[in-house]
A and B are shown apart, each in its own frame.
Chain A
Amino acid sequence: MTQTPIRLTVNGRIHDVMAERQTPLLYVLRNDLGLNGPKYGCGLGECGTCTVLIDGAAARSCVVPISGCAGRDIVTLEGLGSRDKPDAVQHAFIDEQAAQCGYCLNGMIMTTKALLAINPQPSEQEALAALRYNLCRCGTHVEILRAVMRASGQLAEASD
């Protein structure tokens, strides 16, 4: 079958991807673009480990085919910052030691990023609700919540 490449803008760079249009974005990001941030967790939109930003909104890249991403702006964990220049949210998660195994970390950071974009100073309740469908098995919830509060500049209000 002949394929027309699909053009994706990821972390500000344009990529023409040769893959079937139904291919979930997650696999293209990981395999064609060599990105590590988005992770496979369930493939069903349930756990959040694959979260990226599409046009600024949190998106579960395991259930979004690349055909739906053409012409959109995609940002992954790598697009936020690097070890030397971490983004404020990444910084807050590192400072709060908000990971044990860290497999859920991508989803937590990207979802926080999306949350803060629409609600720069969420209350604790709002943060808990926003992360309600991001799963963490290690039980890092306390540290993650603190990281969200730190990233939004309101750590003083975060209760221990």
Chain B
Amino acid sequence: MASPLSNGAERGSLVVVRTVDEVTSETFVRITADGSVTAYNGHVDLGTGIRTALGQIVAEELDVSFARVVVVLGDTADVPNQGATIASETIQITAVPLRKAAAQARHFLIARAAERLELPPSDLKIEDGLVRGHNRSVSYGELIGSEVIRLELADDVQVKAVSDYAIVGQSMPRVDLPAKATGELTFVHDVRVPGMLHGRVVRPPYAGVDAGPFVGTSLIAVDESSVRDVPGLVAVVRIGDFVGVVAEREENAIRAAEQLKVSWRPTPALTDLADVENALRANPSTPRTLIDKGDVDAAISGAAKPMQRTYVWPYQMHASIGPSCAVADFQDGDIRVWSGTQNPHVLRSDLALLIERPESEVEVIRLEAAGCYGRNCADDVSADALLLSRAVGRPVRVQLTREQEHTWEPKGTAQLVDVNGGLDADGGIAAYDLATRYPSNAAPTLALLLTGRISPEPAVLQMGDRTAIPPYDYDHMRVVAHDMPPIVRASWFRGVSALPNTFAHESYIDEAATEAGVDPVEYRLRYLKDPRAVDLVNAVAERAGWTPRPVREEKDGEIVHGRGFAYALYVHSKFPGYGAAWSAWVADVSVNKTTGAVSVTRVVAGQDSGLMINPDGVRHQIQGNVIQSTSRALMEEVSFERGAVAAREWGAYPIIPFPDVPKIDVLMLPRQDLPPLGVGESASVPSAAAIANAIFDATGVRFREPPFTPERILKGLHGEASPAPQALPAPAAPQLSRIWENPFAKRTGIFAAIAAVCTAAIGLGAALLPGRAIAPIARPDAAVYSAATIARGQQLAALGNCAECHTTINGKVNAGGRALQTPFGTIYSSNITPDVETGIGAWSYPAFERAMREGLHRDGRQLYPAFPYTHFARTSNADMQALYAYLISQPAVRATAPANELAFPFNLRPLLAGWNALFHDTKEFKPDPAKSEAWNRGAYLVESLGHCSACHSPRSALGAEQRNAYLAGGFAEGWEAPPLTSLSQAPIAWSEDELFAYLRSGQSRYHGVAAGPMAPVVRDLKALPDQDIRAMAVYLGSFTEAATDAPALAAKLENATKVTIAASTGARLYHGACAVCHEVGGLPLFGSRPSLALNSNLHSATPDNLVQVILHGITEPVSSDLGYMPAFSNSMSDAQVEELVTFLRQQFAPDKAAWTGVRETIARVRSSTH
């Protein structure tokens, strides 16, 4: 397809226009002298394929080939203003003038050809724009020539008879797919404008709420200094509650948005949405009677069997797969916005209002976006981009984050439908009195609210009435829509209020049929008067092999099957509206009564869409609607915390995955002789009711509130006391020392005790006080050491992880200054490069050795035991020399570390001498002759420079390793260093081979990957030869009894812990966020695939490491081969992480007690810097 032509003057052209006023006209069709055809439509393609269908309509009426037609959608400079693309109107309504315009052009051209060829029009035939007659021909292009022809769109244009259609009604491949399948530019996300910058917005804390006096007035301050270090930062923009950042590079805009410190006023208490039904009942409303027929009140009071029912629909998301994106270029008098909007003209007005410029200065250029199925954040982000572009005077692209799209997209609202009525003595519907509450409006463009350009008073729209009147001809019927403002930000979503209203109609009539003992299809047919409806219902029942079921059959067994029917004529647009396609479903389900899992196994979806422009396109739409609405009925519900939207990623708001998609049998009634109807939504409308009716058929229980999650099904089947799997109560867990974390939190009086002990110890250690200074020397010459010695020293430095503590992030190696958090305060590591003034350049070997063995600075000051000299003391002389040689051979860096920040009494260094006297043994390592050479080698490496037990042993209140608990597990930097002895909680005991694999590669198949502070340790160990790693493995392996048949045990554990259903928030989070990389047997992805059933962290006594990786991810693995893990701290709330952690523990370590204090751990880890 050629690119759209500009609207400028060409050599010659024919246009069909509609004059709006003296200066404005709208073009529908343009044919140019080269024979190409461009069609303009004010609606946009939301992924439904209307571009293709409109092209077919124009090609048909013009008698040109489909390939010749270019369809331009939604560019405000070019296309007619036809309002928003909503309510399945495009084909039904907005295509009408387009069809007429094309037909009008053909009539004009044929008349001209008749003149030119001197033949009567009836003798002429047209084939792809070539008019023929009596062996002569002339093309449209030739007929136009250099003339500029302008036709005013006429009303009474003769369009083609359907029987003459050759292009319309034929299945046509979508014109946009080749580009999309090969990565050509089609999406607004792919727009790149020269000089374009990248923006991100920071949204207020009242997540997803857009009405109330706090909207636009909650910002206190933005601390620009918090992002000063972000490279390429161009601007921080704030207007009211609108906050955004602009940077040269996208990743830096992301970083700035995350890092920016913004303070907000506390949001006042929001409506609690834990109980949607009552929240909606309490929401102020105005009743509007849509129909009142017969005598409803009398009929109800006279009913033989009263039936009062309430149906509750949950909040749901449009959940576009691509978060919204836009590019804006603000130039004086020429403002362009590339947008994925549904309604370019409405957006243009909003943008003009936002920036207080005339509409004529603003052009909205519409590109495709991810499917939206209603109003998502496409307009919001366009306004955001415009504000940021205006602030910096350059084009800016803004991409919303997944979290922002989830949180702020106008939700498909919750809805409450009460039906009162009952059966008369004959089992017929005595009366039908329906009240519906739909708290939703058009969701004003967010920036208008955040900047205070419009009032945050919510508008009340009349949109709860869609399909609110049932399709059944009940004698006594009243329907009232209670119009109400939104509670959280909400706007139309596929099916609008018709889907919940139909859920009520179609559930109620099913319930009535059951009560009456009549087959539900037959019962419906008694009340259906519309012949097309009757035809469809019969056709679908027949196709599905529906067998009459006047009485529900009891089903036995754990898994029960059922089948349900539902029908709808989707009535949309302003009340009373008009119908789109007719739709009916037969759904088959199976329900597992033990787990509560429902699966929709098959759907027969029938539709009468009138003339189908592109039958394949209609089929795809039906299938898409069936899948999406099945997803909505089974699993979709927005979660809230304190009234704000809590679901920020796909684990908290799951949508249907491939394996759960039902088999779909589409039945399309041939109605090519009747006017075309919208097909974008109709097939969704019967969904939930058909499924609920099928679940009833299977279980005998009515479910009146989707989604039909396992929890809800179990509750329905077994009542409140449903056997939800519960974690075992936790026995008292062995308390590991958290001394390196926060000893003061729990231990009262420890402070005084430490001081007293140390003071007492000073007496013992008095002889050591003060350390004598060792004279400085001129910087030693490394040349006196052999290359082999220096190389050996380098390995030893790696073994000792010197650089890890002595280097700041992104700093020069070993130049010191890294802050080490200890329970006693912050210690800054020293510079150990050979700089004479600030490093160890003036240190003689004896001074170095004394520091390493005794913890004394060259000048005699005591060093803090965060520096593990208690281990280094064991280093052999030869190794100590090699290490010295290596360090002094390195480049000198001038750098002074900040002063330590220690609390009294720890700031008194001399006290540490007392500490040394108590806890430090300066003896060199002595091999054990009874053990193998490898063992002794390993012991030496582990205990001396390797200093493994510095982290892996618990520490006393005074920060000393507990000698009687060697390698029994400890804590470092907020991470648990698990026990390496028989106390290990690993489900498969460590073997020498697994220790070797882990220390060598950072990964053990049976334990997981090295993360946190262990990752740099393993990375450093790369410098050591295999032999040394093997020796360490031999030594460490000697503390445990290796598992005998690890592979079999692993398989057993993995099989026993397979996650088959998602029956809790935690399980859903796992499915959405974790399983893609952690599920056993999943498609191999780049990186490793740690098995959670075997992972030590899930079996540990404390949840710390698990919480660490969930919140902070793994950004620096031992090697890139292991892959990376994203951080979820910005995507999940504490409550969600707690649910997830609790689930993971219960699922993957079922023999272990539930963790206690998970919430506190999450809070602590979240606030830590790692």
Residues of A within 8 A of B (CB): 1, 19-20, 22-24, 27, 30-31, 34-37, 39-49, 54-55, 57-60, 62-65, 67-69, 72, 76-78, 80-83, 86, 90, 93-94, 97, 99-106, 109, 111, 114-115, 118, 125, 127-145, 159-160
Contact = CB atoms under 8 A, between A and B. Distances in A.
A129 to B, nearest CB: 7
Nearest to A46: B650
Contact of A101 (B183, B369, B1087): B369
Given A41-B402, A59-B1086, A97 B616 contact: yes
A144 to B, nearest CB: 8
Interface stretch (B41-49, B300-308, B348-356, B982-990): B41-49
Contact of B1120 (A30, A45, A63, A69): A69
Contact of A1 (B231, B616, B625): B231
Contact of A142 (B180, B370, B401, B664): B664
A51 to B, nearest CB: 9
A78 B190 CA distance: 14
Contacts of A24: 251
Nearest to B1114: A63
A159 to B, nearest CB: 7
A144 B620 CA distance: 11
B1086 A82 contact: no
Contacts of B49: 100
Contacts of A100: 47-49, 371, 620-621, 624
B1084 interface: yes
B1107 interface: no
Interface in B168-187: 173-174, 176-187
Interface stretch (B518-526, B885-893, B1125-1133): B1125-1133
B620 A86 contact: no
15 contacts: A22-B251, A27-B249, A27-B251, A46-B1072, A54-B1086, A59-B1086, A59-B1087, A77-B183, A86-B181, A90-B182, A135-B655, A138-B371, A138-B628, A139-B625, A143-B620
Q: Which of B187, B249, B657, B1083 has the most chain A CB within a 10 Å cutoff?
A: B1083
Given A34-B192, A65-B1124, A81-B182, A137 B371 contact: yes
- By DSSP majority rule, is chain A's interface helix, strand, loop, or mixed? loop
Contacts of B620: 97, 100, 140, 143
B515 interface: no
Contacts of A102: 47, 176-177, 180-181, 186, 368
Nearest to B1085: A58
Contacts, number: 243
Contacts of B322: 39-41, 49, 103
Given A1-B810, A46-B650, A132-B658, A105 B180 contact: yes
A139 B620 CA distance: 9
Contacts of B1072: 46
Nearest to A90: B181
Please provide the 10 A-B residue pairs with the shortest distance between their CB atoms, ordered closest to farther.
A101-B47, A139-B627, A68-B1120, A59-B1086, A101-B371, A139-B624, A37-B183, A103-B370, A133-B1076, A102-B180
A19 B369 contact: no
A59 to B, nearest CB: 3
A83 B178 contact: yes
Contacts of B810: 1
A18 B657 CA distance: 38
Q: Which of A109, A114, A139 has the most chain B CB within a 10 Å cutoff?
A: A139
Contacts of B176: 102
A34 B194 CA distance: 12
Nearest to B370: A103
A40 B1085 contact: no
Nearest to A122: B1083
B1108 interface: no
Given A44-B1128, A49-B322, A138-B47, A109 B650 contact: no
Contacts of B182: 77-78, 80-83, 86, 90
Contacts of A48: 1076
Nearest to A148: B658
Given A101-B371, A109-B181, A139-B627, A44 B1073 contact: yes
Contacts of A99: 47, 174, 177, 180-181
B193 interface: no
A57 B663 contact: no
Contacts of A93: 177, 181
Interface in B632-661: 649-651, 655-659, 661
Contacts of A127: 658
B227 interface: no
A141 B659 CA distance: 10
Given A45-B1077, A138-B624, A159-B663, A103 B249 contact: no
Nearest to A127: B658
A129 B658 CA distance: 7
Given A27-B250, A67-B1120, A90-B181, A44 B321 contact: no
Nearest to A142: B623
Contacts of A27: 249-251
B238 interface: no
A55 B1123 CA distance: 13
Contacts of B658: 127-129, 131-132, 134, 141, 144-145
Given A42-B402, A132-B658, A103 B371 contact: yes
B1126 A135 contact: no
A135 B1076 CA distance: 11
B1115 interface: yes
B650 to A, nearest CB: 5
B323 interface: yes
A56 B1083 CA distance: 12
Interface string B819-838: 00000000000000000000
A135 B657 contact: yes
A57 B402 contact: no
Given A44-B649, A115-B1083, A128 B370 contact: no
B139 interface: no
Contacts of B749: none
Given A39-B189, A42-B650, A46-B651, A137 B249 contact: no
B183 A59 contact: no
Contacts of B183: 35-37, 76-78, 106
Given A58-B1084, A137-B373, 17 more contacts: A20-B251, A22-B1115, A30-B250, A40-B323, A43-B402, A44-B650, A46-B1073, A90-B181, A94-B181, A100-B47, A128-B659, A132-B1076, A137-B655, A138-B371, A139-B627, A139-B631, A141-B661
Contacts of A58: 1083-1086
Nearest to A34: B192
B396 interface: no
A24 B399 CA distance: 15
Q: Which of B320, B656, B1084 has the most chain A CB within a 10 Å cutoff?
A: B1084
A43 B49 CA distance: 28
B731 interface: no
Nearest to B1081: A129
B249 A19 contact: yes
Contacts of A49: 321-322
Nearest to A32: B249
Contacts of A105: 180-181
A142 B656 CA distance: 13
Nearest to B1125: A63
A37 to B, nearest CB: 4
Contacts of A77: 181-183
B1082 interface: yes
Nearest to B1083: A130
Contacts of B177: 93-94, 97, 99, 102
A85 B142 CA distance: 35
Contacts of A143: 620, 623
B1075 interface: yes
Q: Which of B320, B1076, B1125 has the most chain A CB within a 10 Å cutoff?
A: B1076
A43 B182 CA distance: 22
